[in-house]
Chains A and B, each alone.
Chain A
């Protein structure tokens, strides 16, 4: 299967979409470093871009790729292989091409300007976030036969986790502010991969107090390193669970 992954990966790396994505990240990072010489500030600005753009690009690219290669997937499944193998090869190739674009786009200019530890953790969170949203996009792709519908569901995931969820969280905190909500918020945050990624970064940058209530509490509750470990493992669950569901559906699906 290594060769299947290799060729699909190879194919994806040369699509215009991935090249543009890399270029976009490269230019943004480059410009940020030009504007500001303080690496921590640059990372903070980049974080805001990354948290919005990475999930969006991941879901859109994955669903489009899945439906464009539908016939080819069909042909591969007509060969003597297990469906699981083909599905996981597809996942691996898509995820690794998006991660490669991300690492080159953000990592390249950072190396030029001297990488710091916070850049490394930015790269790390971006990669995990990519994996999570590629998982979610595969899930939405196998849920329906219609390309437009699948992109719709995938975008809904993005919209929900990037914008709506935070609003709901804020509303909960605001409405019930007479009660001790620390643990509740902590739990609720675990249900949003974007928030988790943000928290990892903020704990890392040691400016969690700037994030206000939850950030400060998070820090107090976990301390930096346990907090990072905890959020990372929850993010891993966020990668695995949608992928597992998608795999199950794919294995029984009519193509």
Chain B
């Protein structure tokens, strides 16, 4: 459904994406992992059209996304940190997003209910805590029933109860057959949420396969351990060659 074809992105001298080729197929959920500065956010941003690749092509449903915006109707995006205008309240923010999106018939307000955000509808955005703002971001990403969901560090900053509510929601969307792309440093969360792993290192895709295969290849039961072993193996290979 989404494919990256030889995508390069350079910021001056820094290479953020180095010849990335990826195929992301529908109704799977991908865990996008890698150390800080490995290009995860750049990858997501280039998929959203916020960053234009230096070379290469990104296809969404067989069409190049360059200079397109219509395809984003199919994407729900939850950013790493939600910053919103200070003096408007949650109700107004949601109204504004609905207005930008246009398709207001088919909305999914489950998360708004689950996080009890309607109680805070009249609170100004600047009066909200970081965690609450995170909940707002999550609710906005799921609001429009988009078939593709991109979640950048979704559980960072949420309290344990909210994390559970949120994970349940993600899993139920996964069972509905939605395509999920999740980045996180909390590998235990990803173990439950994702079916596939994409491992990025220094702008290159080092590994792209299902979690089951990764676990059996590395003989580990937990994703965290499996990744650590994978990295060690890679390093070992690099030091030999």
Contacts and interface: CB of A to CB of B under 8 A. Distances in A.
Contacts of B83: 68-72
B46 to A, nearest CB: 9
B88 A71 contact: no
A77 B79 CA distance: 12
B69 A80 contact: yes
Interface in A64-90: 68-72, 74-83
B96 A75 contact: no
A72 B92 CA distance: 14
A71 B78 CA distance: 12
A254 interface: yes
Contact of B50 (A7, A74, A81): A74
Contact of B85 (A3, A11, A78, A81): A11
A11 B100 contact: no
Contacts of B96: 3-4, 7
B87 interface: yes
A81 B75 CA distance: 12
B70 A78 contact: no
B180 to A, nearest CB: 16
A112 interface: no
Contacts of B84: 72
B72 interface: yes
Interface in A7-54: 7-8, 10-12, 14-15
B73 interface: yes
A197 to B, nearest CB: 31
Interface in B91-145: 92-93, 95-97, 99-102, 137, 140
B51 interface: yes
A77 B70 contact: no
Contacts of B201: none
A78 B87 contact: no
A254 B11 CA distance: 9
A210 interface: no
A77 B101 contact: no
Q: Is the interface of A mostly helix, strand, loop or mixed?
A: helix
A255 interface: yes
B50 A254 contact: yes
Given A78-B75, A78-B77, A71 B82 contact: yes
B51 to A, nearest CB: 5
B62 interface: no
A81 B69 contact: yes
Contacts of A72: 83-85
B45 to A, nearest CB: 7
Contacts of A70: 83
Contacts of A8: 85
Contacts of B100: 4, 76, 79-81
Interface in A124-156: none
Contacts of A83: 69
Most buried by B among A4, A7, A252: A7
B92 A7 contact: yes
Contacts of A77: 48-50
Interface in B53-72: 69-72
Contacts of B88: 7, 10-11
Interface in B126-182: 137, 140
Contacts of B137: 75
Contacts of B102: 80
Nearest to A255: B50
Contact of B101 (A1, A74, A79): A79
Contact of B52 (A79, A82, A252): A252
A65 to B, nearest CB: 10
Contacts of A3: 95-96, 99
A197 B102 CA distance: 42
Nearest to A84: B69
B34 to A, nearest CB: 20
Interface of B: 11, 45, 48-52, 69-73, 75, 77, 79, 81-88, 92-93, 95-97, 99-102, 137, 140
9 contacts: A7-B85, A8-B85, A12-B87, A68-B83, A76-B100, A78-B72, A78-B77, A78-B79, A80-B72
Given A7-B96, A70-B83, 17 more contacts: A4-B99, A7-B85, A7-B88, A10-B88, A12-B87, A14-B87, A15-B87, A71-B81, A72-B83, A77-B48, A78-B50, A79-B72, A80-B73, A81-B100, A254-B51, A255-B45, A255-B51
